[in-house]
Amino acid sequence: MIRIILFMLTNLSVMFIFGIILSMTGIKSHSIYELIIISGLFGFSGSIISLLLSKWIALRSVNGKIIKVPSNENEIWLTNIIYLQAKKMNISTPEVAIYHALDMNAFATGSNRNSSLIAISTGLLNNMTRDEIEAVIAHEISHIANGDMVTMTLIQGVVNTFVIFISRILSQIINTLLSDNKNENEHQHYNSTTYFFITMIFELIFGIFANIITMWFSRKREFYADSGSAKLVGKTKMIAALERLQQSCEPQELSNLSTFCIHGKSQSIMNLFMSHPSLNNRIYALYKNIYM
């Protein structure tokens, strides 16, 4: 979940800054085609920058330490498992990092399948059996092999483009209606200021709906990663890992950080904004061979 949340936060921040710059330039829809091109450039820029910076941001956010040379038996076993699984999936061996956290968690990130990182929390390493850890690693390896981060970038770029485009179209329509009653001296200043604020409001509103779409896709990819893990190390191990997460205590972090946890809450309308389906649903899908 961490890889998705960090990706989304960075992407939204970049998109918001670009949105402000675009509004301040006064660029509006003199041409629909021109606006589509501009929206696409700014829409995809945010997601691409997020992707390129994903490893750097993720490592620093969790204060992770990359294992360059294994220093103990556990690190040797961990790096060997990741090497063997990566070889089976025909991808380059990801970098391996460990970070200190009480909760059981792991994530994969990187700009492409041959330049990736898998980070694992000490809470997971200390509380799971080796079979369960192996299944969690296989889940993350599946994310990398499936190219989920690149796919997320493309989807985010498309929804960003839509948000920027439709926000500016609607903003110009409303701005024109509101400024019709202004005299000529007031018109120019009112037009630019109002357009800017209306655009920001629409981008915020449509950005929320765009996140719902992106999170829906993210939940689907989790099922496929579970399935990939089951094929790689066996369904029994993956189910055991998910059941271990069910038995663990709820995260103790603040509410804005608890969404990072792989066993985060999923209730009511907030389901729409969850990057992961519930553990019950994931276990059920494995038992029933759904997505296999």
10 Cβ contact partners less than 8 Å away, ≥ 6 residues apart: 49, 50, 53, 54, 57
Task: Please report how the helices 184-233 and 235-247 are oriented relative to each other, as an axis angle in degrees rounded to 10.
Answer: 120
Q: For 97, phi and psi rounded to 5 degrees?
A: -130, 150
What end-to-end distance do the CA atoms of the chain give, in Å?
21
Residues 6+ apart with CB under 8 A from 112: 147, 149, 150
Q: CA–CA separation, 246 vs 282, rounded Å?
A: 11
Selecting among 134, 140, 203, 222, the annotated active-site residue is: 140
Q: What is the DSSP string of 245-276?
A: HHHSPPP-S-HHHHTTSTT----GGGGGG-SS
Tell me which DSSP letter residue 67 carries: -
> Per-residue DSSP letters for 100-128?
--SS--EEEEEEETTEEEEEEEHHHHHHS
* The two three-digit tokens of residue 91, written as one number: 């991808």
Q: Could you tell me the sign of the dihedral formed by the alpha carbons of 15, 18, 22, 24, in that order?
A: positive
Is 184 known to be catalytic?
Answer: no
* SS3 call for 1: coil
Distance CA 112, CA 118 (A): 13
Pairing of strands 65-66, 106-112: unpaired
Mind telling me the catalytic residues? 140
